[in-house]
Structure 1
Amino acid sequence: MLGKRAKTILETCELKKGVFQDIFFLLLLSLQYIFIFFHQRTSRLQNQLQRSHGITSPISLTPPKDLDCIQTQKLVEALKPFGVFEDQQESNHRLVVLDKLSKLVKEWIVELGESKNLPPSTIASVGGKIFTFGSYRLGVHTKGADIDAVCVAPKHVERSDFFQSFFDKLKHQKQIKNLRAVEDAYVPVVKFEFDGVEIDLVFARVSMPTVSSNFDLGDDSCLRSLDIRCIRSLNGCRVTDEILRLVPNKENFRLALRAIKLWAKRRGIYSNVLGFLGGVSWAMLVAKTCQLFPNALASVLINKFFLIFSKWDWPNPVFLKQPGESDLNLPVWDPRSWFPLKEYEVLS
């Protein structure tokens, strides 16, 4: 009798032991999944910060509130009467004009290759491309605003060709008006009105035999052996793309920048020619605000913009990223070593 009872007790203990082992195993498994989840979430956040938010940690990652959404929509409505947004028809017209200009450029580059007796096989692939930059490329241009663009041509095209034969080609286009060249500018430019759209076109000649449709201006190697004027021409597009790459949310950035640009223009302080800030400078300040408040909507970003830069310790520079090193032997702006440069070079 006692033996049976002892056996029953032992079996019960073994059963409970098995249950406890199962529970313990499930608990360990749950903890493991929780650890993996939080590790992956932390890694994603760290990667997001490293990828999008520049060199300083965000001040706040707070998501938008309902009131922020309401205020941002009110901001959009408040901006509309000032011509800050163009309609779809005007937007499509700009694309048509840019496409026509691109065809003119490619046609001219081929004609130039033929006049310089390039082999037919080379002429067939010389290419050429138009890149926009400035407010249009940023996506913050207003109704009737001009378009800044750069004509990128292969190595058989000289700067003198651009200001002579291409200028002459533009002269004979019926849709082009108010054509003029400013060759002695810091960045030499041809200005004209193409079917109602004002365009400022600069020129860059790269040291390659062809400029294909997928030519990448972000590749530093395209700057190798270039004339300084060509580098300045390419920098407009490169800087614009880099600003967009460094903001966490492009749409929030664009709306906030539209509002700040309008404010600056109406206060008479939107002009680097007059010693104030120009378009790129305002864009960089708004981009910095976006980095510090990556989840904020435009209505909040505008408030933070004035809060941050009214208290900024000037003349400390505003960095969106660390100045990079390059093996191209080109000057890189650095606040510790810019003094030897001519004043106009720094301000331009």
Structure 2
Amino acid sequence: MSITQLARTQVQALTPYQSARRIGGQGHIWLNANEAADSGEYQLDCARLNRYPECQPPQVINAYATYAGVDPEQLLVTRGGDEGIELLIRTFCEPGQDNILICTPTYGMYAISAETNGVGILEVPLNDDRQPDFDGIIKQLDQVKLVFLCSPNNPTGDLVNSAGLLRLLNAAKDRALVVVDEAYIEFCPESTQAGLLADYPQLVLIRTLSKAFGLAGIRCGFTLANPEVIGLLLKVIAPYPIPEPVAQIAAQALSEPGLATMRGRVADINALKATLVEQLAASSQVEQVFAANGNYVLVRFTPGTQLFARMSKAGIILRDFASKPGLSDCIRITIGNQAEMDAVLQVLQQEQ
């Protein structure tokens, strides 16, 4: 018997999430992981590295609560938004019995986390307007514990329709949790659903410092929810999830100077994105530019395989979504710095 056969059946059959780092590539301009082009400068105090860290560092919790406009009791800090997703599934879903619901195409870790934990997955594809099919979701509520929505949606960039979300929240009362992943919300802060948390205890939000804050490397995310939900998640989370250096950097990023830096970065990215979208829309090689609400743009090229190969040859690594349902010839471009965007446009403008 092989060692593999000792593993859980679900793990043996599992195809791991193909992150940008796992896919890899050869190049010098990396625009495939929706990372920021810079991280900023931070200071570390090593005096307490001999001590175990706080499970929920107060300096981080309080700073993010102030930033997000919620009470500290409505907040959990996690190892990236991914751990928040995992904790929700582990806390609320019985393996081999319960299901989550996802609206494809969307972020792949919802399904991977469910599969890893032996939890079923129901798919209700986005409609022709790339919105969640709220009628279809509501019909499935008695079969699911968690509904995952992504706003802006990765990879399409669309925002969840607020009226439809309210319908779903009302239907989900005492039946299921509705999780809205707002990893990219800093690029369109007026579209956050945080204002609904006080009135809808079944609503959960996922946030991160990986995107607009430029801190993907420290793995720091947040779950915003009703205090009862947070209390349940605290039963499941590891005893020391946030390393001391991560807490220090996160607290600095959430200070007034740190927030000013983040907002300046967002303004720069949004300006570069607007220019890129304009150039893409004018190109004969582009069939469709999707909604651009995050720090990325999904583009349908004609054909996508040729454009992807040309970019790769020039050392520009993008993310190919052609294998996903409804996304043939689609490539996602992260918004980098000015030089990186100029390099993308230069390849786009070359003769095929």
Q: TM-score, normalised by structure 2?
A: 0.30
* Structure with greater helix percent: 1
Whose radius of gyration is greater, 1 or 2? 1
- RCO comparison, higher one (Cα < 8 Å, 6+): 2
